[in-house]
Amino acid sequence: MPDADPTNQNEKARRMAMMKTGSNPIVSLKSSDFDTYIKSGQPVFVDFWAEWCPPCKAMEPVIERLANRYSGKIIFGKLNTDEESEIATRYDVMSIPTFMVFKNGKPLDTAIGAVGEVALDRLIQKSMGGSGAIHR
């Protein structure tokens, strides 16, 4: 089965991201593709947000800068918690914005609120260092 190979999963997720985003390095995550992305073998940074959330809007430029900086190394995705509430519930997202990094289908680390670029950069660096899952 070709999808069992992590290399194929990683390549599949990368191709999906490129097709969906064009020049935008941030993927709009839906329940139909969420698990495919987070199980790809490549780290996935997820921004849990909503349209009505001012702190979420304030973090958009920060997320865009980080997505451009780490393009090709980590997948960046945005998940609208109003539209995809079952996924937000699955990961106990109670406040937004919430930022979560996944690797091999498991959440590694979480940051809640408008924490700023330096804190999110540290979160990403930690995920790329191969540390184990952190219990929330």
Divide the 136 residues of the chain into consecutive groups of 10 and give the mean pLDDT of each group.
Answer: 48 48 77 95 95 97 96 95 97 97 95 95 86 38
Catalytic residue among 13, 17, 56, 88: 56
Tally of CA atoms within 13 A in the half-sphere of 28 that contains its CB: 9
Domain that holds residue 47: 2-128
For the stretch 1-31, what's the b/e string if a residue is b when 16 or more beta carbons lie within 10 angstroms of its beta carbon? eeeeeeeebeebbeebbeeebeeebbbebee
The verdict on residue 134 lying in a domain is no
Q: What is the pLDDT of residue 133?
A: 40
53 is catalytic: yes
Q: What pTM, to 2 d.p., does this model score?
A: 0.79
From the candidates 50, 53, 111, 112, which is the catalytic residue? Answer: 53
Residue at 135 is within a domain: no
Q: Domains in the chain: how many in total?
A: 1
> Per the domain annotation, does 133 fall within a domain?
no
Tell me the C-alpha distance between 37 and 77, whole Å. 9
Q: Annotated catalytic, 21?
A: no
Q: What's the pLDDT at 9?
A: 54
Taking the C-alpha atoms of residue 26 and residue 22, their distance in angstroms, rounded to an integer, is 9
Nearest residue to 77 (alpha-carbon basis) of 34, 113, 134 = 34
**14 part of a folded domain:** yes
- What pLDDT was estimated at residue 135? 34
